[in-house]
Chain A
Amino acid sequence: MSDFINGSAGGSGGGCGKEGGCGCGSQSNSGSDIASAADFLETGQPQTRRGFMKAAAALAMTTLAPGITLFAVGGGSAEARPLDEAASSKVRWGMLIDASKCDDGCTKCVSACSTENGWKDNGRPDTDAQWIRAVTLKNRKTGATQTLPMMCQHCEKPPCVDVCPTGASFKRADGIVLVNKHTCIGCRYCMMACPYGARSFIHEPLEDQKDYAPRGKGTVESCTLCVHRIDEGRLPACVETCNAEAGGALMFGDLNDPNSEISKRIATYASIELRSGLQLNTGVRYQNI
């Protein structure tokens, strides 16, 4: 029944090739499609978008991001969200990935993430950190291949949060799923629970981490959607790089804002969430898989 099999993984880690480790194909059972046909059977307005129109569009300000709320001041000058203001649940950050724009073998988003956040290949693909990886899917019938990036899908109902015994795995108000490394005990239960194999564990003592992206031995980590960038009104590193240097396959925006480009595109064209049968309402969606 499965048209797609998990072929090979690109990127620095290449960890997708390991048996049962990456979760994107071989982890559960061989018959489970990464992109379930159920996605296309959902008719009409997807449930996940229903609440979008309810979002207060009548605000006197234009919310671009928590960090870059635009206030209509005088001639349209802009102000960042005050530093002392908490992330708001009025926003839900999401990403739309147009797989048709991903070039075969392109790993620019992977290297951008690695450079930005300071994780790297230690030559141990089974255990190396991998916040994002390039996955190649191969259609068993036709042999056609397709590359797409895989990372934390920032679920609305994240299984990693459900299972965490200390509450270290959590979802921020604006929908970003994170690990609070101050309370993470490194049990790796969340890694087992994640349907996308998106999390990794740090085995080595580290030095000279990025000052904006703390990471250390004994904790679990995954894509943070570049939360440090979002908080200062910038785009995630992968999105920025893909748009500047590659095919522009990644789109980032506020899923709660019906006027955002990402919401409009999702409302106009068919898109899917991976392993949609789990009904996690992921913040990362895919097109043209």
Chain B
Amino acid sequence: MTSMRIVKFILSIWIMVIGVSLPGQLLAAESSLLPSIAKGKGDKCVLPTEYMRRNHMDLLDHQRDETVLDGVRTKQFSLKGCVSCHAVKGGDGKAVTVKDPKHFCASCHNYAAVRVDCFDCHASRPGEKDQFGGLKSKPAGHDVAALKSYLHSGSQTSLRGRDK
């Protein structure tokens, strides 16, 4: 009987040890499968990260209507802002597209198995920049004097370089 008790005791200890260590082992295995989310530029996101994780889709949804329908182009919740701040560089030094699992959006959405269709239309990496501060062409409109003369009193040829 005593030997039986000893066996039971050892068995229960063993089960307890297994019970404690097994979830730990499982967790350890699981953590390598968790998405590795690239860090964005700057210290923090436009709102606390926890809030953004839960609500970014609503913020983007709201912003898209304001931008498309009304022409409101605030930068805080713009998709362009997300894409540019969270760009991840690939092997060729260029930002990767959403097809790459390292892409900021893809890294989490692949894990959660939630398909995003934003990038069916939108660029999933920042646009090319040049000397015009992110614009592909010279912002003639920012030359206010030239534009004013164009739109108001001047002739429309005032913007033509060859006439100057």
A contact residues vs B (CB 8 Å cutoff):
62, 64-68, 70, 78, 83-87, 115-116, 170, 172-174, 178, 180-182, 205-212, 214-219, 227, 229, 231-235, 237, 240, 243-244, 248, 251-254, 259-262
B148 / chain A contacts, CB cutoff of 8 Å: 62, 64, 70
- Chain A to chain B contacts (Cβ below 8 Å), 24 pairs: A62-B152, A64-B144, A83-B75, A84-B72, A86-B71, A115-B136, A178-B68, A180-B68, A181-B68, A210-B123, A211-B83, A212-B127, A216-B120, A227-B71, A231-B73, A234-B135, A234-B139, A234-B141, A240-B140, A240-B159, A243-B159, A244-B160, A261-B153, A261-B156
Asked whether A78 lies within 8 Å of B127 as measured between CB atoms, the reply is no
Q: Does B50 contact A (CB under 8 A)?
A: no
CA distance A244 to B143 in the complex (A): 14
Counting chain A CB atoms within 10 Å of each CB, the highest count among B68, B139, B142, B156 belongs to B156
A170 / chain B contacts, CB cutoff of 8 Å: 69
A172 to chain B, nearest CB (A): 6
A243 / chain B contacts, CB cutoff of 8 Å: 150, 156-157, 159-160
Per the 8 Å Cβ criterion, residues 117-138 of B in contact with A are 120-123, 125-127, 135-137
Chain A binding surface SS class: loop
Counting chain A CB atoms within 10 Å of each CB, the highest count among B71, B72, B73, B152 belongs to B71
Asked whether A172 lies within 8 Å of B142 as measured between CB atoms, the reply is no
Asked whether B137 lies within 8 Å of A208 as measured between CB atoms, the reply is no
B101 to chain A, nearest CB (A): 17
Counting chain B CB atoms within 10 Å of each CB, the highest count among A217, A219, A232 belongs to A232
Asked whether B141 lies within 8 Å of A65 as measured between CB atoms, the reply is yes
Nearest 8 pairs between A and B by C-beta?
A: A216-B121, A234-B141, A211-B127, A86-B70, A87-B71, A233-B141, A211-B123, A214-B121
Instruction: Select A219's contact among B121, B135, B140, B147, beta carbons within 8 Å.
Output: B121
Asked whether A237 lies within 8 Å of B137 as measured between CB atoms, the reply is yes
